[in-house]
Amino acid sequence: MADMDMTEAERDQFLADVRVGILAIEHAGHGPLALPIWYQWEDGQVLIGMDGTSLKARLLRAAGRATLTVQTESAPYKYVSVEGPVVVASESRDNLAMASRYLGPELGKWYADNNPSTADTVLVRLTPEKWRTCDFGKGM
């Protein structure tokens, strides 16, 4: 079977493209909490904004680690999964850039105007330690 792992440049480009990720967080006494999120890939870190009082923020603080998986939805299938420590910081960013990334300029502005950052907004930084990647197109 052909080597279907992505190169570092391929995985960086894949994460930089606009895709919804699935964030998985340990949830003691339950299965992991796994949910779709918007993210940004910047300087080797995954950045995620969220309400600091949310369940996902509380679980991230408790676990100190998370996994993000990003995939394509059509063939040839590709995915990148990163796992590593997280820092949940009280810094917030203007959510216009993230909303525009996922929704486009017009709808992104509407979303940002109607969902402003608050004092409870946090920025999560996930630093990848473990990588799992696959580009099934390389095996064809």
Peptide bond into 128 cis (omega under 30): no
| DSSP β-bridge partners for residue 47 | 40, 125
pTM: 0.92
Amino acid 122 reads V
Q: Which CATH architecture has domain 8-139?
A: Roll (2.30)
Q: pLDDT band at residue 92, thresholds of 50, 70 and 90?
A: low
Q: Is 80 exceeded by the pLDDT of residue 94?
A: no
- Helix or strand or coil: residue 77? coil
Contact in structure between 75 and 85 (CB atoms under 8 Å):
no
73-86: average pLDDT: 97
| 8-state DSSP, 116 | -
Give the CA dihedral 59, 60, 62, 64, nearest 10 degrees.
Answer: 150
Mean per-residue pLDDT of the chain: 94
Domain boundaries, the chain: 8-139
